[in-house]
Amino acid sequence: SSEFTEVSEYDLPLDTKWEFPRERLVIGDRLGEGAFGLVMKGEALGIFKDNNSVTVAVKRLKEDATDREMMDLIREMEMMKLIGKHKNIINLLGCCTQRGPLFVIVEFAPHGNLRDFLKSHRPLGSNFSCIVDYERPVFTNSNGSGSACGSGFPPGAVVDMRQGQGQGETPLKTLTPKDLISYAYQVARGMEYLASKQCIHRDLAARNVLVSDEYVLKIADFGLTRNLTQFDYYRKTTDGRLPVKWMAPEALFDRKYTSKSDVWSYGVLLWEIFTLGGNPYPSVPVEDLFNLLRNGHRMKKPPYASTEMFSIMHSCWQEDPNNRPSFNRLVQELDKILTSSL
Ligand code: ADE
């Protein structure tokens, strides 16, 4: 095939610990498209047990990829090997490096990304969208007053999704406050692990967390090489969001990325969870965001968040990175909340 000849100029070292026979991998539909690569669905025969076919996700380059992009994918694969396995991250399963295009085989998460998952579990036909319509401007002026509809949500409320989305599929299960706190906890666990391996994510957001079997949350794209010297502040995601809105001020202004700047992003991710996939600072353009952050502005408490959860969220947005909690600390706090009250 043409793929075959195009990449034959690269000779990658064989790593028998990870090499998976190409002929036992069947590539299926496209799951997603990244900055430089494609993610395909696949079936890997015998990757765990003989004759057992496992659905996997396969990262590969686009046809017109550059040498730099090839090197980035190799680095991502090597990074995943070094980081090792954890329940709350997308784990490396294997790779095809010999005689053909590079395929990096990772765990497949059947429920897609957390942002879409949360949004699809919003109740329809209720006044939910009035209560938390984060698609409309929440911040109407620069000092941050003004809100979507103002009212708080009853404590202990159940997020009722039984009306479903009308897609004629299995009725959506009801998300409880405990589910939401469990999501917060699981992401903190994954990040605690990555931080312990000196891995800084740099783009932690609900769109980069995947929902796997039994609703286990897994952090994705932690091994990506990000070009920080040519960072595009105006870059939008496919759904029109600005990744800068997840960035800590020191990362944004001084390119100072640490696990503590990941903690800031984690705070924004918490906000996404407790708005069921809301859009942070909607309709705030990049230039205004800079000023907003310089003036110490912070997002308000989402209706579904308890004051306790909001206090955790808010602590992640401390100006001084040293005053933010560590992921260790966040895991402890969330564990306490999860095992006590609910
Ligand atoms: N989209 C991108 N990566 C994915 C994965 N590992 N599982 C499911 N969908 C994905």
> Looking at the chain, which runs of residues are DSSP E strands?
25-33, 37-45, 53-61, 92-96, 103-107, 209-211, 217-219
**Which residue in 188, 117, 156 sits closest to 308, CA to CA?**
156
Q: How many helices (H) and strands (E) does the chain have?
A: 10, 7
What pLDDT, on a 0 to 100 scale, did the predictor assign at position 228? 74
Residue with tokens 């992921």: 327
Is the CB of 104 within 6 Å of ligand 1? no
pLDDT tens string, the chain, 342 residues long: the values are 445 544 446 789 999 999 999 999 999 999 998 767 999 999 999 999 888 999 999 999 999 999 999 999 999 999 999 999 999 999 999 999 999 999 999 999 999 999 999 999 998 644 454 444 444 333 333 333 333 333 334 444 444 433 444 444 455 777 999 999 999 999 999 999 999 999 999 999 999 999 999 999 999 999 988 877 778 888 888 888 999 999 999 999 999 999 999 999 999 999 999 999 999 998 899 999 999 999 999 999 998 899 999 999 999 999 999 999 999 999 999 999 999 976
| CA end-to-end distance (rounded Å), the chain | 57
How far apart CA 110 and CA 114 sit, in angstroms, is 11
- Whole-model pTM: value is 0.86
What pLDDT, on a 0 to 100 scale, did the predictor assign at position 259? 98
**Residue of 15, 203, 254, 320 with catalytic role:** 203
Q: How far is CA 248 from CA 42, 242, 263, in A?
A: 36, 13, 8
**Which residue in 114, 334, 120, 81 sits closest to 220, CA to CA?**
114
Residue 320 annotated as catalytic: no
**Which residue in 235, 177, 173 sits closest to 203, CA to CA?**
235
At 337, list the tokens. Answer: 């909340």
What pLDDT, on a 0 to 100 scale, did the predictor assign at position 158? 47
What pLDDT, on a 0 to 100 scale, did the predictor assign at position 342? 61
Best mutation site among 39, 73, 209 for ligand 1, i.e. most ligand atoms within 8 A of its Cβ? Answer: 39
What pLDDT, on a 0 to 100 scale, did the predictor assign at position 174? 79
What pLDDT, on a 0 to 100 scale, did the predictor assign at position 339? 93
Is the CB of 57 within 6 Å of ligand 1? yes
